[in-house]
Amino acid sequence: MEAFGLLLHGFGVLLTGKTLLLMMVGLVLGIFVGVLPGLGGPNGVAILLPLTFTMDPTSAIVMLSCIYWGALFGGAITSILFNIPGEAWSVATTFDGYPMAQQGQAAQALTAAFTSSFIGSLCAVLLITFLAPMISSFALRFGPPEFFAVYLLTFCSFVGLGREAKHKTIISMALGLLLTGIGMDTISGQLRMTFGSTDLLRGINFLVAVIGLFGISEILLTMEERLALRGHAASISMRVVLGVWKDLPKYWVTLVRSSFIGCWLGITPGGAIAASFMGYNLAKRFSKDPDSFGKGRIEGVFAPETAAHASGTAALLPMLALGIPGSGTAAILLGGLMVWGLNPGPLLFVEHKDFVWGLIASMYLGNIVGLVLVLSTVPIFASILRVPFAAIAPMIVVSCAIGAYAIQNAMFDIWLMLLFGVVGYVFKKIGIPLAPFTLALVLGSRAEDAFRQSMIGSGGSMGVFWSNGLVGSITTLAIALLFWPLIDKAFGNVRRLWNPAVT
Amino acid sequence: MRNLITAAGAAALLLTAVPAKAWEPTKPVEIVVAAGAGGASDQMARMIQAAIQKHNLMKQPMVVSLKGGASGAEALIYMKSSQGDPNKVLIAYSLIYMLPLSAKIPFNWRELTPVSVIAMDQFVLWDNASGPKTVKDFIAAAKASSVPFKMGGTGSKREDNVLTVFMEKKTGAKFAYLPYKSGGEAATQLVGKHTESNVNNPSENLEVWRAGQVNALCVFDSERIDYKTKVTATQSWNDVPTCKEEGLDVQYLMLRAMFLPGKVTPEQTAFYVDLFKKVSQTPEYKEYMEKQALKPVWFEGKDMVEFLEQDDKLNTQLMTEAGFVAK
Amino acid sequence: MSLTDTEISVDDPTAPEADSPAVTNNRSVEIVVSLLLVGLAALLGYDNWRTGISWDSTGPQAGYFPFYLCVILGGASLYGIVAALRDRTTATETFVTRAQLRRVLQVFVPTLLFCLAMQFLGLYVASFLLTAGFMRIIGRIAWWKSLLTAFIFTAAMFVTFDIAFDVIMPKGPLEAAFGY
């Protein structure tokens, strides 16, 4: 039981007054950003990231991951009480959550949401706990060609499987890759695309871009719409909580199914959004009474919330183990790791055991503390929405500016943030997806370095990407995914030829 | 009542202390690191920070500020543009000579104010534990290999790369130099056998050496490292032969020095010279030097400038011979 | 029911009217953006070409990848222009209405001024001005409420970042007067 021993050690790292305090602070801030309109998980984490810069990495990741859990909980509050999904993956929660609130069962719906979030995360954390030790023994097999193959796989899956117009995905990704090349090239030590500017020398920081692309642009988009809202206030009593918990065993099939879907989609970069819809749809499909869904059925809250959180948590595994973020927020946590000098990837589990197990332990503790905290403070957070947007908007702008400045102490980054804000606003409106852009910004230079290191090692031969079973299968899979739409079509044609009756 | 007396005492102390010390920082002092977190410079900065805090050597707090962007060029530009600001200190190493040459960064160390040279860092030739155990066998294997041996290192056209070029020149063996972002990465890639060797600083390979995953073949200095405490089960730093003893005549030492921005007053410089002198006498500092196998040296004032001029000349010559100076 | 169920409702008196005329459509914006991207691709492509785009013995040179990315970006953007010209539906989709644009500028312009003020006054004074000004002028909230909120918010930020977490923010003449 190596995992168990390491986990206990992780708890040992965490159980100090300071860490617990940081945890609470993180959770409160997280719920806060989750509830605020125009913020939400990824932005919140990006903006609050600088708070952790002067901490040691373990405290930093504890606080940051607690902000993340908090934001996940916070999203559920607005979905149920106000029918405003804080995050895309909370959309499915509104289907039954809001009707429940309308029927005066807001407290039950919230309890159900928080409890199932907790269950979902817990399942994913258990999975991570038992998979992590296997990863570290696997880790040392990763050299430059393997790293490049994995990055290639990520990029290709975005282009091949994305739903947006292909040329828009390509524009977004190429632009991101191009911008990460600005500054000094690691391999040759030459400066690129800096045009003699000392500000561009540093390169474009991924977090600054994210704060602009998501934070600033979201405010601009929010302003376009009518800001009126109408919702329900609720406070949760112990009796309601126990009532909901007593009924939990009745829904065990739904809970297990959703956890499984969530974990699966979290590890393969399918993401929490797909997981929450899939969890909801499957629960409805297998229900004896599918028509009652959408009218305020508690199972309709359990299913998507469990799946979304299982997936959101499981997404941290590929982030830590391969350096590939499974979700937007995981991408920002990845940026954070790099700021603290921890290189995410298989070697993280070998080089920074304390950190990894501290993080995993903090997932357990953070979820428990978060559940208690959120159950007791719902009314306070719900009332945040009463604050007029005219007061909240400037505060968000200021928070964004602090976040952007603090990353590199550079005034230039403030202007960059503003520019990315406008870019994000325009891109969102004309349907250029931002996810490939941010992915390219965070992985681009690492992918290029890995490729060129492989080339130096192999003396310029591309054969190195098929030089052993591991790298060869990843590379082949990547190329297959890139041409997935074509392959899919070809298969369809073959099947039709084979069996003309199927159309 | 007691509080009042201590307060009065403190006030009196303060009054007598003020005229003695002409200048003192009034804001938190930023210690600027020209490398990523966890690297040798960062560890040193955090050690200095801890030593100052523990022994109460300065009233204002010290904040570590990481500026490792563009291979450390970010930190150089940052220091250059902070002219006259006495609340920023740079932990410098050989990049102050090399970066302006290889990447045409508009920077010259003469634009900063030298405070003191606090240590010299060693370079060691390492290979994987399953590889040859001596320099001679290693060179022979490198020569016999049909594909060039892969040599890992930090950054491109910098100290690690220069050493690799000189090893090629002296031995006639061919190496393929793989630049990584940090020494830590170069270390784990060596353990994973993705490279055959690297020329990391002792601190960067310390942990994997202790774990028995790599061999320390030789140290690039004219004499062996002084520290005789056992680091691995069988070896101390002192047991590692010099490369010259083993017939590979290449030597290189890298400075670790503190700089203030340009145009600060002599009183301000004097404060920091004094501060780092005190730091260098703390047990934390001594322990750190031994653990990381750093060579203790101390230069300040005129001596330091003289040393820097010479060191600059040497580095420029090496860079030119290696063909790394940008046209 | 054990819960105290009260309504929360917030109104938005200055919401943009639904029938406001469109300023521009998605098609025009798409074409303009694509043209800008083509320009950017050309500029960066030229710079990388100067850096070196060939493939030497140790793999690609520094400019190789960025150069071909410029080619891909340029190509995809040109395709975007053609696609936008051929697609009729986007021509009728409203990019932004006049009323919406007014609201967006109401946030964007103060943000711009805030960034500008930050260079001279430091972050905290600028954020005080932004919060108070925005609440008063755009939100039409009473002066005393605006000033008080702005002051509390700014002070809280100062304590959190500069004092509690040692994150140093840009300062202006006011902070200097207090010795920070």
- Residues of chain A by 3-state class (helix, strand, coil), percent to 5: 80, 0, 20
Which residue carries 């602070």 as its tokens? A25
CB contact under 8 A, A402 and C123: yes
Residues paired with residue B219 on neighbouring β-strands, in sequence order: B124, B242
Mean pLDDT per block of 10 residues along chain B (327 residues) reads 47 45 81 80 86 88 81 89 91 92 89 94 94 93 91 90 93 91 83 91 86 91 92 91 92 94 93 94 90 91 94 93 86
- Domain with C79, as residue range(s), is 24-95
- Domain count of chain C? 2
**CA end-to-end distance (rounded Å), chain B:** 73
Rounded CA separation A375/A368 (Å) = 11
- Percent of chain B residues topping a pLDDT of 90: 57
Cβ neighbour number for residue C54 with a 10 Å cutoff: 9
Instruction: Locate the chain A residue with the closest alpha carbon to C80.
Output: A167
Q: C161 at the B interface (CB within 8 A)?
A: no
Q: Mind listing the pLDDT tens digit for each residue in B13-35?
A: 444 444 445 788 888 898 998 88
Burial of A54 from C-beta contacts in 10 A (0-12 / 13-18 / 19+): middle
Chain C nearest-CA distance from A235, in A, is 6
| C16 located within any domain | no
| C79 located within any domain | yes
Q: C168 at the B interface (CB within 8 A)?
A: yes
Mutate to test the interface with B, among C166, C167, C169, C178 (most CBs of B within 10 A): C166
Its sign, for the CA torsion C144, C148, C149, C154, is positive
CB contact under 8 A, A170 and C72: yes
Q: Which pLDDT score, from 0 to 100, does residue A88 have?
A: 64
CB A276 within 8 A of CB A305: yes
Q: Which pair of structure tokens corresponds to residue C56?
A: 């030497």
Residue where a domain stops, chosen among C95, C114, C129: C95
| C10 located within any domain | no
Q: Which residues contact B293 (CB under 8 A, 6 or more apart)?
A: B122, B202, B203, B206, B225, B227, B237
CB contact under 8 A, B74 and A201: yes
CB A49 within 8 A of CB A336: yes
Nearest CA-CA partner of A123 in A285, A300, A260: A260
Rounded CA separation B46/B290 (Å) = 16
Q: Are residues C108 and C153 in the same domain?
A: yes
Q: How far is CA A265 from the centre of its chain?
A: 12
* Chain B, chain C: beta-carbon pairs less than 8 Å apart: 9
Please list every residue in chain B whose beta carbon sits closer than 8 Å to the beta carbon of residue A341.
36-39, 42, 66, 182
Length reported for chain B: 327
Nearest CA-CA partner of C5 in A116, B51, A329, A81: A81
Q: Which pLDDT score, from 0 to 100, does residue A347 have?
A: 67
State whether residue A494 is helix, strand or coil. Answer: helix
Q: Are residues C140 and C90 in the same domain?
A: no
**The pTM of the whole model exceeds 0.90:** no
What DSSP state is assigned to residue C136?
I
Q: Mind listing the pLDDT tens digit for each residue in C14-42?
A: 667 777 788 888 888 999 999 999 999 99
Question: What are the sequence ranges of the domains in chain A?
Answer: 2-143+172-385+407-460, 461-503
Q: Which pLDDT score, from 0 to 100, does residue B17 have?
A: 44
Out of C58, C166, C179, the one facing B26 most closely (by C-beta) is C179
List domains and CATH numbers for chain B.
27-121+254-322 (3.40.190.150), 124-239 (3.40.190.10)
Residue C109 predicted with pLDDT over 50: yes
pLDDT in tens, chain A (503 residues): 566 777 777 777 777 778 888 888 888 888 887 776 556 666 777 777 777 766 777 788 788 888 878 887 887 787 787 776 666 677 778 888 888 888 878 888 888 888 888 888 888 888 888 887 676 666 677 788 988 888 888 788 777 766 678 889 899 999 999 999 898 888 888 888 888 888 888 888 887 888 888 778 878 887 887 666 666 666 677 788 888 888 888 888 888 888 988 887 777 655 566 677 778 888 888 888 878 888 888 888 888 888 888 888 887 887 777 666 666 677 777 777 766 767 666 667 777 777 888 888 888 888 888 888 888 887 777 676 677 878 888 888 888 898 888 877 888 999 999 999 999 999 988 888 887 887 788 778 888 988 998 988 888 788 889 988 888 988 898 888 888 778 878 887 887 777 655 44
Q: Which pLDDT score, from 0 to 100, does residue B37 have?
A: 65
Give CA angle at B84 (B82, B86), nearest 5°. Answer: 90
Give CA angle at B97 (B93, B99), nearest 5°. Answer: 95
In our burial notation (b when 16+ CB lie closer than 10 A, e otherwise), range A303-323 reads bbbbbbbbbbbbbbbbbbbbb
Q: C180 at the B interface (CB within 8 A)?
A: yes
Mean pLDDT of chain C: 85
CB C157 within 8 A of CB A51: no
Q: Are residues C107 and C78 in the same domain?
A: no
Q: Which residues contact B113 (CB under 8 A, 6 or more apart)?
A: B259, B260, B261, B262, B263, B264, B269
Touching chains, C (3+ CB pairs < 8 A): A, B
Q: What is the pairing mode between strands B29-33 and B88-92?
A: parallel
Q: Are residues C78 and C113 in the same domain?
A: no
Q: Which pLDDT score, from 0 to 100, does residue B2 have?
A: 47
Q: Which residues contact A318 (CB under 8 A, 6 or more apart)?
A: A267, A269, A324, A325, A326
Touching chains, B (3+ CB pairs < 8 A): A, C
**CA end-to-end distance (rounded Å), chain C:** 55
Q: Are residues C138 and C89 in the same domain?
A: no
Q: Which residues contact C20 (CB under 8 A, 6 or more apart)?
A: C97, C98, C99, C100
> Dihedral of the CA atoms A358, A362, A363, A367 (nearest 10)?
170
